[in-house]
Amino acid sequence: MINRVKYNGQSDILKRGSLSTEAFEPAVRAILQDVKNSGDEALRDYTERFDHVRLGALEVSREEMQAACEHVGEDFMRILREAAERIRAYHSIQKRQSLMYNEPNGNLTGMMIRPLDRVGLYVPGGKALYPSSVLMNAIPAVVAGVPEIVMVSPPARDGRLDERILAAAAVAGVHRVFRVGGAQAIAALAYGTESIPRVDKIVGPGNIYVATAKKLVYGEVNVDSIAGPSEILVLADDSADPEFVAADMLSQAEHDEMAGSVLITDSETLADQVEREIARQTQAAPRRAIIEAALTNRGMIILVDDLAQGVRLANEYAPEHMEICTREPMTWVPQIRHAGAVFVGNYSTEPMGDYMAGPNHVLPTGGTARFFSPLGVDDYIKRTSLLYLSRRGFRELGEDVMAFAEAEKLFAHANAVRVRLAREEES
């Protein structure tokens, strides 16, 4: 069921398939253009076609939101509030402040931090139900100070959204919620319709049509990333608990059939034990079919010569989630260069990060941890540089700026400085 190999330096041992959207682009382009031209009418038509419900009002009312909070029960609301508080506390330390630097000659340079005016949060429907992702996507925006957070999600056949999703939106601080999903929802957020306002950035995962739509509207608006399948890599030695390791690998495998679950170890004994544990735990798993497909497609146990080699391989893979289950796990942390999130020690299981620990669970997938970071407050702000030159500071820089501009044959640039220097000489 799970592949097992001895690493011998092969470069493609953890090669992933690429996420191609090309085949879906013609259909998605048509949807985007239709929504751009026809607005709410197109949204209702596509919702009827794909979600099998004809909608009246697209927006979820405040009363519906309140009713959802009451119906999910106080226990679930308590969990949502506790998770939200921990996520808020973690992201609050990320918040930047505007800054100014004064030079002795009176010049002032600086950076102004401003939140985006409006962001759109896409929440999947269908077989996916992730109120935790509502918290993770919305709360950093609230911390950043975004004035308006708009959420879209595909409705069920009765035209309603899941109450747990609505409750999470209420707890997180989402301002407006609309019952529309798919590529048509991305189009609405990108272009605006009669009901749904245009946003500055779209965040949140979705199916291949949503991913394609986000790719195509990028530039019209900003987007977070084009997310691929979830994945975990566990680095472990013979001190690791095989039951724990197997459980953590299955926790990712149950996401979908293309999720990745990888163990890298220098212990053949542990590899044997984990393989047996995976087989045992899979037998009792409610999502057994999905897990078995995922382990067959992208599951792997890799034996390495030593943990140093394992770390090098892990950095090449750049996993979304990485667990370090070794005798002295903190000694390896400084050597991890490429990972979306690192979970240190036997009790830092990845699901703790998914729900309650505080760090964001929206992470770079598919090896993009080499250059992308977890979702955070910085994703909801923009930086504006600030410059003030005193007359003295202007004079000190003027001649050099003119020479620089003329070297680039931008003579009007040089002249903008020259006319001011001439005025200074007259005074």
Q: Would you state the structure tokens that stand for residue 200, as one six-digit string?
A: 């500055």
- Residue 203, strand partner residues: 121
* 56, 96, 288, 295 from 256: Cα distances, Å: 33, 36, 11, 10
- Residue 344, strand partner residues: 324
DSSP string computed for 175-209: -EEE---HHHHHHHHHH--SSSPP-SEEE----HH
Phi and psi at residue 126, in whole multiples of 5°?
A: 65, -130
Tell which residue, 230, 251, 287, 249, has the closest CA to residue 16: 230
- Residue 108, strand partner residues: 102, 388
DSSP SS3 for 64: helix
DSSP string computed for 386-410: EEE--HHHHHHHHHHHHHHHHHTT-
Ranges assigned E (strand) in 212-365: 222-223, 231-236, 260-265, 299-303, 321-325, 341-344
DSSP SS3 for 274: helix
The number of C-alpha atoms within 13 Å of 117 and in the hemisphere containing its C-beta is 5
Catalytic residues: 320-321
DSSP SS3 for 222: strand
- What is the 8-class DSSP label of residue 16? P
Phi and psi at residue 265, in whole multiples of 5°?
A: -145, 155
DSSP SS3 for 254: coil
